[in-house]
A and B are shown apart, each in its own frame.
Chain A
């Protein structure tokens, strides 16, 4: 166990050395992935896979056009509106249902069934009704992403500390006070879990909806580029969708840390 003792006695200078090693290794792996991509692009028949250079050059050219930013905004806007609808409807409804055992048990089978329908299944029908529009994508995204948020909120309502509930009852804490200061903060960590899953699904379904229906946005650009066999454009927009996913994850993580700053899991983090 000498290794353990050594690692305990390390000074800050060797921990910064370790960080340099780690970052170098990470950059190395990313570079290696780019080399593999480049090798694939030159060994496959021309036009099948664009080289990373072509792809990034295309992306750089796009970044100067208003059309690109309008496209990205289209996707982001649909995603945001869907997320807000899912949250505003799903969280209060879930908390209300979860506060009553009768309501929870009555709705369990219905929610379980609706949750398991792949949202893509309703896409053709919604497409016939609305056409390839913003509203159409919104309906598909909301109907697909609301379930994890709703179901997790039902669960969250039941996770309050029983001691706190009993104590506030014996101290006759006013109902409004109880809801805002004890019930809601107690369920917030579990609500956030549902919101994180819901956020990922919202973005996934927004791009999927655009791709399959032809509604404007990143998904449409990917499908359109494929129809013209414009592979650099196709890869560029797939890259954009990945970047968007990374940004959304990062923003969610920051929001979660702020909202749950008081929570034990973050307090421990801060101490370490």
Chain B
């Protein structure tokens, strides 16, 4: 199974974020069957011992995508070249074709924060980030995908979010990781129409989709927790989105509060069904 599975394309297929929390169960049981897995490279680079063995085992069985946390593409700080060098080795070693990062910053004033802070939607930030993405892409010798993040306050914004994202993605000639749940969360938090928002994005650049659950913490605020099941309106928004773009890999993010594998597989199945409904005929026709 393993080698054949790894050779298959993951376009139009569903995968899951691989977590240490369920690693052993995942490898020992056959209940959860994603088409690929995703990890944060920061959590595995420099790792040895037990976890290295687990990681090598799972990456022998599944195609791997990487979703970074610490590149801090929107940071005022210099790029971390030591980290980038290690990242490049890691991506090559595990033959990672999709490497994505957040359109946010996680380091400032030479201090890591380990979370995703919102960038001011401004022209100078756009130009700054374009240059950084180009630099990173040149160095890694591959395109990266940039994710629209959820945010809980705009920060000194001088343009709207879709303009900010589009200008960066087009200017840097990078890919877009479209997090559909984040669009839903932001539409709720910042009171805009999610579908209209999606239509304004550079949809020809979408190379990857993320789906997740969230938590409403205040009457007027949702936090993107990855700790609950995907809700129906986000599935609906996903269905809407798939009709606007070419087939891409779709990832289910679940970071804690894990349900039984059957339940996770149920979510993957539901996502895959939508993918198949929308993409399979078109995909077959174009190949």
A and B associate? no
By a beta-carbon cutoff of 8 Å, the part of chain B in contact with chain A is: none
By a beta-carbon cutoff of 8 Å, the part of chain A in contact with chain B is: none
